[in-house]
Structure 1
């Protein structure tokens, strides 16, 4: 079993600090927070991130998180799909294994969304 630490644990620390602290504490894996990842990639490249991971010996278990995926307008839903594609591309580039197939993810999310709307509409009929 491998242990991972989630970037939310360190709250306001930046991504590089998270990765270096995880390595120093003996964690083999990290779960990256998307907000910290985006901040990091404003100043550095994906190759820089890969080098940091290689230097520290820390792997990436997953990237968190797509917020409020269910309750979105059609326009917002298109934006969240675009964000998911972006995060999936980054995941692939850094060797992160936890990236579900996009079609499966959004098929499930769309089905859940439709079901939720049906349930809410049925509540209003009472």
Structure 2
């Protein structure tokens, strides 16, 4: 497995600092936080960003993310964003775009959720295909997220049945949302775009800000990694945190700790 660093972990740092710190820490791959990329592009342009990755020999794995791709007001707005990011991904050599399902304000039956998700993933797949870019559908383990378990996310991806559409598994959402390791065992490892790794101090009423470094919480990460190896997954694993305690520390210090913590599971 290859180790990646997600820019959400150091949200207050810019893209340049993320790249420099990730490389210094020992990471091979980086997940680009979308707002950091767009900020740098406004000032410096695509070629400067491209040279940043080339200089540090750090492969950009994903752009995070297009949020609320389902159950939103403007479909055209989401498709336009997909095209914009896929174009950038092709220019920068990024493998894929992270897609996040929408949140619900009330009860919606599973069939409606499936149909809406499949419809949007199909449309975005057609766009991404023009640029040779992959899409990763990331379920969120929060109760009000339309797709909050791996079983439903995998069912949707299978029904989409597009070569460039896969699934993203995040340990926070996996365990907090009640997904099971036996469900992970049923996933085709070739359809996992990336695995987000983090730990949690609790499994109830979880918020993104509760995430802590791997092995600093109570999640059974060892069993999770055993299962990944059992199904033959050998792709990217990425540290992704949304914890202000880490945001307020020097970016390179956080990246170094993240690399050491993640490497311990390798």
TM-score interval (norm. to shorter):
0.7 to 0.9
Q: 1:58-95: CA deviations, max 9, x gaps?
A: 0111001001111212xx22111101111000100111
2: distance between equivalents of 1:89 and 1:108?
Answer: 16
Aligned match of 2:65: 65
1:53 aligned partner: 53
SS where residue 13 of structure 2 aligns?
coil
Does the C-alpha gap of structure 1 residues 53 and 105 become closer, same or farther in structure 2, counting only changes over 3 Å?
A: farther
Root-mean-square deviation over aligned CA pairs:
2.1
Unaligned 5+ segments in structure 1 are 110-115, 117-126
Shift of 1:106: 3.4
3-state SS in 1 of match to 2:42 = helix
Aligned residues: 105
Which of the residues 91, 96, 103 maps onto 1:93?
Answer: 91
Alignment deviations for residues 18-69 of structure 1 (CA, whole Å, 9 cap, x no partner): 1111111111110001111111111011110111111111011100100111
Measured after TM superposition, the shift of residue 107 of structure 1 is 2.0
Structure with the bigger percentage of strand: 2
Q: Secondary structure at the match of 1:3?
A: strand
For the structure 1 residues 45 and 72, does the alpha-carbon distance in structure 2 shift closer, same or farther, using more than 3 Å as the test? same
Q: How does 1:1-126 map to 2 (within 5 A)?
A: 1-73=1-73, 76-99=74-97, 106-107=121-122
SS, match of residue 49 in structure 1 = helix
Question: Structure 2 length as normaliser, TM-score?
Answer: 0.37
Task: Measure the CA separation in 1 of the matches of 2:71 and 2:76.
Answer: 12
Alpha-carbon distance in 1 for matches of 2:21, 2:97: 24
Contact 2:31–2:60 at 8 Å: present in 1 too? Answer: yes
Specify whether residues 62 and 13 from structure 1 end up closer, same or farther in structure 2 by C-alpha distance, changes over 3 A only. Answer: same
Normalising by the residue count of structure 1, what TM-score does the alignment of the two structures yield? 0.76
> Gaps spanning 5+ residues in structure 2: where?
99-118, 125-145, 147-266
Shift of 1:97: 1.8
Q: Which has more helix, going by share of residues?
A: 1
